Amino acid sequence: MSKESSFTVHDLPKQERPRERLQRFGPEALSAQELLALVIGRGTPGKSVVNIAQELLVKFGNIKAISEATIEELSKIKGIGLAKAAQIKASFELGKRQELEIELDDLDIKKPQDVVKAIRARIQDKAKEHFKLILLNTRNKIIGISTVSIGTLNTSLVHPREVFKDAIMHNAASVVLAHNHPSGDTEPSENDLTITKRLAEAGKILGIEVLDHIIVTKAGFFSFKEKGLL
């Protein structure tokens, strides 16, 4: 076995090891390779964690591509099993959620664009349809956002009971429905129209008004309210 293939992090001077560098200089001072190495944790016999991180970057090309890779794709890298692949996915998801944590308490829902601002980053890049429920108080401020379903919308998947469960639990005065179209087409489908009508009627019975239903894509959005469909 060559010296290069058996190289480990401990062969580096202590002050040059990723963990020590992070402690001394902070995470922003580390390279993408070093940050990945810290997430992965440790290497395998004959292959250091730094080498594994480097191989990840070479194979996928950049951090964004690594973040979008599946667990199965990540685990094809020698030295990354399912457990380490899961760690990598979890770290990217935490970062994504931190970015999504806008100050909802300060956001008033007065127009469709306000809903898009609150929800777009959460669902626009999803490969499947994600149906979200935005809960509002009597002052039209967001008190919560919940996921109702994942998958192509149909009446069995989006049942009024499930949709309004969180609204009732959180004493919401009104709600806004939102989901993405991975196809990029903002126009509502027949299912979208049927579901919206059904949920609006259920909301009237429960005393929880459905203010709007927003379809979000990367390029635009569709408001049922604006189009006179609610």
Start-end of CATH 1.10.150.20 domains in the chain:
9-100
Q: What pLDDT does residue 47 have? A: 83
17-43: average pLDDT: 85
What HEC string does 35-47 produce? Answer: HHHHHHCCCECCE
18-35: average pLDDT: 85
Start-end of CATH 3.40.140.10 domains in the chain:
104-223
Q: How does residue 225 score in pLDDT terms, banded at 50, 70 and 90?
A: very high
CA distance 26 to 18: 10
Q: Is the pTM of this model over 0.95?
A: no
CA distance 180 to 217: 6
Please list, in sequence order, all residues whose beta carbon lies within 8 angstroms of the beta carbon of residue 115, skipping any fewer than 6 positions away. Answer: 109, 134, 176, 178, 212, 214
Report whether pLDDT(166) > 80.
yes
Q: Tokens at residue 142, please?
A: 């967001």
111-120: average pLDDT: 84
- The more confidently predicted of residues 16 and 28 is 28
177-201: average pLDDT: 92
CB atoms within 10 A of CB 94: 10
Torsion of CA 176, 181, 184, 185, to 10 degrees: -80
Q: What pLDDT does residue 2 have? A: 42
Q: What pLDDT does residue 188 have? A: 93
SS3 191: helix
CATH superfamily of the 104-223 domain: Cytidine Deaminase, domain 2 (3.40.140.10)
Q: What pLDDT does residue 43 have? A: 84
Fold that domain 9-100 belongs to in CATH: DNA polymerase; domain 1 (1.10.150)
Q: Which amino acid is at 185?
A: D
Helical packing angle, 32-40 and 49-60, nearest 10°: 120
